[in-house]
């Protein structure tokens, strides 16, 4: 079993893309990740609402880390993402749940909420488990 507290500390200390976007892991369980990210003018599109690429990135992060909680080395393979309402307010929260994990692929469902708890986006992320690759690929 993976030490989830150590994983949380490690990903929150990362100096890369998560830090750049302000994404913070707030809760972990086996097959589950909750992330929170602040909104602001630098993350908006020209219409003054959260940029879709930013919202997708928050959800993609939750999906990948949810897969990592299974003790697997994970990358995204494909995604199906739906914008339901504009991203506004001070922050968004993504909740990713792995619903299937096979030898080489998995599926994670992610829901994204605004600060009032309203559902603003949903996505299905196909995960690819690098540790499940056949030798020589």
In the chain, the domains with their CATH numbers are 4-132 (3.10.129.10)
pLDDT at 132 > cutoff 90: no
Q: What is residue 68's DSSP assignment? A: H
For residue 15, what pLDDT band results from cuts at 50, 70 and 90?
confident
CB 97 within 8 A of CB 109: yes
Nearest to 23 by CA among 12, 32, 31: 12
pLDDT at 38 > cutoff 70: yes
What average pLDDT is seen over the chain?
A: 93
pLDDT at 98 > cutoff 60: yes
Within 13 Å and on the Cβ side, how many CA atoms surround 46?
A: 0
96: left (phi over 0), alpha (psi -120 to 50) or beta: beta
The per-residue pLDDT for 11 is: 87
For residue 1, what pLDDT band results from cuts at 50, 70 and 90?
low
């Amino acid at each position: 079993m993976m030490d989830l507290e150590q994983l949380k500390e490690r990903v929150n200390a990362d100096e890369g893309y998560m830090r750049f976007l302000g994404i913070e892991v707030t809760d972990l369980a086996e097959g589950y990740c909750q992330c929170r990210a602040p909104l602001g003018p630098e993350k908006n599109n020209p219409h003054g609402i959260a940029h879709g690429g930013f919202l997708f990135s928050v959800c993609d992060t939750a999906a990948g880390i949810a897969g990592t909680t299974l003790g697997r080395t994970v990358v995204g393979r494909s995604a199906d993402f739906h914008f339901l309402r504009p991203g506004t307010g001070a922050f968004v929260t993504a909740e990713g749940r792995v619903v299937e994990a096979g030898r080489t692929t998995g599926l994670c469902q992610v829901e994204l909420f605004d600060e009032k708890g309203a559902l603003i986006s949903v996505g299905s992320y196909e995960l690819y488990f690098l540790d499940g690759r056949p030798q020589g690929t």
